[in-house]
Amino acid sequence: MGLDIRLPIGLLFSILGGLLIAYGALSDVAIYQRSLGININLTWGIVMLLFGAVMLALGRRGTKL
């Protein structure tokens, strides 16, 4: 249908992951008290960025599923 849906998903998740990583690296550790001391922004940002990169790679190669 003209547009491979994996590309926008990959891009969206890479951007959101990047934003969370950047904010996680710069933010005050005190805010992570509520998330059990885990820097959840940094951790989850990395997961989202990786997922986004995989989607982008699959979409660019045009792999059929």
Partner 1 sequence: MLRAIDWTIMVVYFVFVLGIGALLKRHVKTSTDFFLAGRSIPAWVAGLAFLSANLGAQEVIGMGASGAKYGIATSHFYWIGAIPAMVFVGVFMMPFYYGSRARSVPEYLRLRFDEKTRGLNAVSFALMTLFSSGISMYAMAKLIQILHIFDTPFVWAGLPQSWIFHFSLVISAVVVLGYILLGGLTSAIYNEVVQFFLIVAGFLPLVWLGLKNVGGWSGLKATLNPTYTHSWMGMGSAHTNRLGVEWFGLTMGLGFVLSFGYWCTDFLVIQRAMAANSMNSARCTPLIAAFPKMLFPFLVILPGLIAIALPTQNLAGLAGPHSATILQGAGLIPAKVDALGQPVRDQDGLVQLDYDLATPNMLLHYFPTGILGLGLTALLASFMSGMAGNVTAFNTVWTYDIYQSYINPTASDEHYLWMGRMATIFGIALSVAAAYMATRFNNIMDMLQLVFAFVNAPLFATFLLGMFWKRSTGHGAFTGLLTGTIGAALHHALTLPQGAVPGVKGGWIATLHVYPSEMAQNFWTAIYAWTTCFLITIAVSWLTRPHEEKELVGLVYSLTERPQQQDLRWYQRPAVLAVVVLAATALLNIVFR
**48 sits near partner 1 (criterion: CB under 8 A):** yes
- Shortest separation between residue 2's beta carbon and partner 1, angstroms: 5
Tell me which residues in 3-22 interact with partner 1 (CB under 8 A).
Answer: 3, 5, 8-9, 11-13, 15-16, 19-20
CA distance 41 to 29: 11
- Residues of the chain by 3-state class (helix, strand, coil), percent to 5: 75, 0, 25
Residues 6 or more apart whose Cβ sits within 8 Å of residue 12:
52
The residues binding partner 1 (CB under 8 A) are 1-3, 5, 8-9, 11-13, 15-16, 19-20, 23-24, 27, 31-32, 34-36, 38, 40-41, 43-44, 48, 51, 64-65
